[in-house]
Amino acid sequence: MPYVKNTMEILGKANKEYYGVGAFNINDMEFLYAIVNGAVKENAPIIIETSEGAMKYAGNGDPALGAQVLADMVKRIADEVPIPIALHLDHGHDMEHVVACIKAGYSSVMIDASKYPFEENARITKEIVKVAHAAGISVEAELGRLQGVEDNVSVAERDAVLINPDEAKKFVEITEVDFLAPAIGTSHGAFKFKGEAKLDFERLQKVKELTGLPMVLHGASSVPPEIVEEANKYGANIKGAKGVPFDVLKEAVKYGINKVNTDTDLRMAFLAGLRKALHDDPAQFDPRKYFKPAMEMVEQAVIDRIRILGSSGKA
């Protein structure tokens, strides 16, 4: 299937039909093939995303070169498989990175100006939207701060961190952004919650109703305990890890999440597979022999998530 030129081709349908699409982070070819292989098995659309760090890594220190290398690789492979694949810039922070991705042929970009006050976030986002739309691609923005919120905090503290639905409506009207990442209590990485994993679905539902846009869940990894245990069994030392459990993720999709950002789960799966392979065959010195089982772990993690998100068979 030809590479998807605009991510809204994938997210527009997911928004109408209320299912989630996996947005999987890559830095290299191994993760890309593992993700694509899992998605092809599930006949699911996917979004491949690269952070600014990934651009720098893939470009040997030069993010613009990295964007080109990653885009060439994703486009070439996307053209070969029977599922829709889009490429997205994850957490772009400035015009320079955004323009590098547009030039490289990305299908969408995220402008993350969420650290600024509302007006400044809206101003920066609007500027990026103009440039991206002129190039025929779509834009994601973020409102609120990505961090967990304990149950016992005050209303004022919750309001300071999580998205405000009325502001979201105004933000979308001002910026004409295409999809939105609302802060509803998730955070990046493997340590998301101290207690119970709880997200603010009430806010999510209101934002969805008021904007009608596809919603993005950042920090959506589930950090499955069995994968962490496997990594620990073969030498890792990861304690107290906790992600968004599968049932909570399913619920998030019901309330309107359509793009589900996943990086940590794939990193964890790869490392668990790699550690086991290194342990089981210490005489080996061909890295490919170690990467293969690690990639299979990533592929399985992708399959598990696609099934939970309801996008199997939606290609």
Binding site for ligand PH4 (CB under 6 A): 25, 51, 53-54, 90-91, 188-189, 218-221, 261-265
Q: Which of residues 275-314 bind Zn ion (CB under 5 A)?
A: none
Residue 53 binding result from ligand PH4, Zn ion, none, given CB thresholds of 5 to 8 Å by partner type: ligand PH4
Residue 179 β-bridge partners:
140
Among ligand PH4, Zn ion, none, residue 264 binds (CB under 5-8 Å by kind): ligand PH4
Q: Which C-beta is closer to ligand PH4: that of 65 or that of 81?
A: 65
Task: Tell me the closest approach of the beta carbon of residue 49 to Zn ion, in angstroms.
Answer: 9
Give the residue numbers marked as catalytic. Answer: 90
What's the CA gap between 30 and 26, in Å, rounded?
9
Residue 178 CB, shortest distance to ligand PH4, in Å, is 17
Beta-ladder partners of 86: 47
Please, which residue, 141 or 277, has the CB nearer to Zn ion?
141
SS3 for 269-297 is HHHHHHHHHHHHCCCCCCHHHHHHHHHHH
Cα distance between residue 79 and residue 73, in whole Å: 10
Q: Give which of 109, 107, 111, 168 is closest to 143, Cα–Cα.
A: 168
Decide whether 138 or 221 has the Cβ nearer to ligand PH4: 221
The entry of Zn ion, ligand PH4, none near residue 22 (CB within 5 to 8 angstroms by kind) is none
Q: Per CB under 5 A, does 259 bind Zn ion?
A: no
220 binds, among Zn ion, ligand PH4, none (CB under 5 to 8 A by kind): ligand PH4
Can you tell me whether residue 218 is helix, strand or coil?
coil
> In degrees, to the nearest 5, what angle opens at C-alpha 171 toward C-alphas 149 and 18?
70
| Per-residue binder mask for Zn ion (CB under 5 A), 150-169, x = binder | --------------------
* Per-residue b or e along 252-268, where b marks 16 or more CB atoms closer than 10 Å to that residue's CB: bbebbbbbbbbbbbbbb
Give the nearest distance from C-beta 79 to Zn ion in angstroms. 27
Minimum CB–partner distance for residue 188 and Zn ion (Å): 6
Q: Is 218 in the site for Zn ion (CB under 5 A)?
A: yes
Q: Which residue is nearest to Zn ion (CB)?
A: 218
Q: Which is nearer to Zn ion, 93 or 126 (CB)?
A: 93
Tokens of 110: 């995220």
CB atoms within 10 A of CB 183: 22
Span near Zn ion by CB under 5 A; candidates 17-25, 196-204, 211-219, 246-254: 211-219
Q: Which does residue 222 bind out of Zn ion, ligand PH4, none, counting CB within 5 to 8 angstroms by kind?
A: none
Other beta carbons less than 10 A from residue 19's beta carbon: 21
Give me the helix-helix angle, 264-280 and 29-42, nearest 10°: 110
Task: For the CB of residue 51, give the shortest distance to ligand PH4 in the complex, in Å.
Answer: 3
How far, in Å, CA of 264 to CA of 20, rounded? Answer: 18
Which residue ranges make up the site for Zn ion (CB under 5 A)? 218, 261
